Chain A
């Protein structure tokens, strides 16, 4: 019973979010235009997609305690394989997405299998190296497959009409929402399985988990592969929402931003990762609009310029969170709630 009760807030939020495209309300300052207008819908779709991708990264970082700097590789693989499958092989979207998911999972088995032979910071460096290699390949554009710095756009003729065009932004929004829901359920299910318990044990104390009889290597590999699968799915959705693949997805900065999202929200918690991913992406795109605001104009030149940089605000906020709220925003929320109950 209590388990079902616990799912209520998430379910309620899901229903509310699913209803948003029917809500012709303006939220001045918060969203561009009406909530169900194409601008807001597109922005929210991107935020939700990033929330789901942050959730996938949390499977390795928050749940298993693996500091991976290569998660961008899997998201980019999902996105690029979809675009390449459609544009170069002429596959329809569902088949291209399937190809992307199979390819990403296979890539995760190989990269994870190799990188997990070392632990700790060395694992971080090997994953960084693999992701960097992918980034170099994508930028060099071998055989005109990846499109280099321009990226690759999806073939519009092969796309379902429902997902194309400005007016169909709500459908892309629902797609992103569905992705978050699927990732949420998958992570919830994973954390209840034996493999999920093994991951938690590895995060707390790897040596003890090994002594207790857990196959540590297997648990870590499952974490990497599941995270990569969900990340690859996120890449597919990302490509659909944005209409193509962008080389920014392959960079180390992209993985670092995922790390920042998860830590901001609260590592090892579904609410934390989703909230962190959503708020980071939202702030990153909305803070730019603040740069022209009168508040910043009134500040002396250099200070206003610096504060108008989204990454400056987010980076500073991140450092503060690491110091004063190491469990992230959700951890902070829990603490406040508990204190109220005690009083």
Chain B
């Protein structure tokens, strides 16, 4: 029983990380039709910004305070990079989807290489507060506390994004744009301006995901983003491109399937079953890939 509880909570924590990474991807693809390969670089940027903040601040501040500042910095850096990438690299290639994908591919290569050049290709250990490293007894299972942090962060982001989409004018434009962008433009609304905002939001979420993935792994490394990105893609596709609720459900499903199958079948079976899940979903419901075109 305690095994099940531990696996479920860990699976949910992993799903929470996937959701943080995938929500931005999903919004970007749904609204703009851009498959953003540079999202992994946003994650690495957030992780390194957080790590540099943690090591740069004086030790006298205490780990908890430094971690809080690091999270704020990761969010800000992610948002800034997302905004700049959209404005400088994506916007000039408006509606040329293949070229936009190619540019983000090039950017992902360049960014990882740049990080390796400056800070080396080895992983750097990341401090975390004692309470985060400790475990909590939940129905007999010793659950690491950081899993709860991931779940809380994902829930906050999910709630915030839902509120933004439902109650603000910006959210209205985004929702309408995902549905039918041409029509929104025909009504005289500048959808282009919302692109930058969506990229900034996605970048911020990715930056946070990167830093929290660093907390999960106890270290930051340049290649972390790439391995998370593939699962984030899978989550986005299974959830139906552009649907936030779908992404959340898919993230939880993928996290749980991965953890449970890896434990009860054999190591690696979980990763495989996630990939198979994607193939099945796409073949049964090819319509789930419809976004802005």
Contacts and interface: CB of A to CB of B under 8 A. Distances in A.
A140 B267 contact: yes
Name B's interface SS.
helix
Nearest to A253: B226
Interface string A84-123: 0000000000000000000000000000001001101110
A118 B114 CA distance: 36
Contacts, number: 118
Contacts of A315: 106-111, 113
A130 B276 CA distance: 8
Nearest to A257: B109
A319 B110 CA distance: 9
8 contacts: A122-B289, A126-B283, A129-B278, A140-B268, A312-B109, A312-B110, A323-B92, A326-B99
Interface string A122-148: 101110111011001101100000000
Interface string A301-329: 01001111111101110110011001000
A311 B110 contact: yes
B32 interface: no
Interface in B101-147: 101-103, 105-114, 116-118
A129 B103 contact: no
A130 B107 CA distance: 24
Interface of B: 29, 33, 35, 37, 89, 92-93, 97-99, 101-103, 105-114, 116-118, 226, 230, 233-234, 237, 266-268, 271-272, 275-276, 278-279, 282-283, 286, 289
Nearest to B271: A136
Given A124-B35, A136-B272, A319 B289 contact: no
A263 B102 contact: yes
Contacts of A120: 289
Nearest to B223: A253
B279 A117 contact: no
Contacts of B266: 140
A260 interface: yes
A67 interface: yes
B233 A128 contact: yes
Interface residues of A, number: 42
Contacts of B111: 315
Contacts of B278: 125-126, 129
A318 B109 contact: yes
Contacts of A195: none
Contacts of B289: 118, 120-122, 125
Contacts of A323: 92-93, 103
B279 A114 contact: yes
Nearest to A133: B275
Interface of A: 67, 114, 117-118, 120-122, 124-126, 128-130, 132-133, 136-137, 139-140, 252-253, 256, 259-260, 263, 302, 305-312, 314-316, 318-319, 322-323, 326
A121 B35 contact: yes
Give the residue among B29, B99, B276, B289 with the most A Cβ atoms within 10 A.
B289
Contacts of B112: 311
A54 to B, nearest CB: 15
Nearest to A309: B113
Given A118-B283, A133-B275, A306-B118, A260 B35 contact: no
B226 to A, nearest CB: 7
A323 B114 CA distance: 21
The 3 closest A-B pairs by CB, nearest first: A315-B110, A315-B109, A306-B117
A84 to B, nearest CB: 18
Contacts of A125: 233-234, 237, 278, 282, 289
B282 A136 contact: no
A45 B101 CA distance: 31
A312 B114 CA distance: 6
Contacts of A322: 99, 102-103, 106
A122 B283 CA distance: 10
Contacts of A132: 230, 275
Output the residue of A117, A122, A130, A263 with the most chain B CB within 10 A: A122
Contacts of B106: 260, 315-316, 318-319, 322
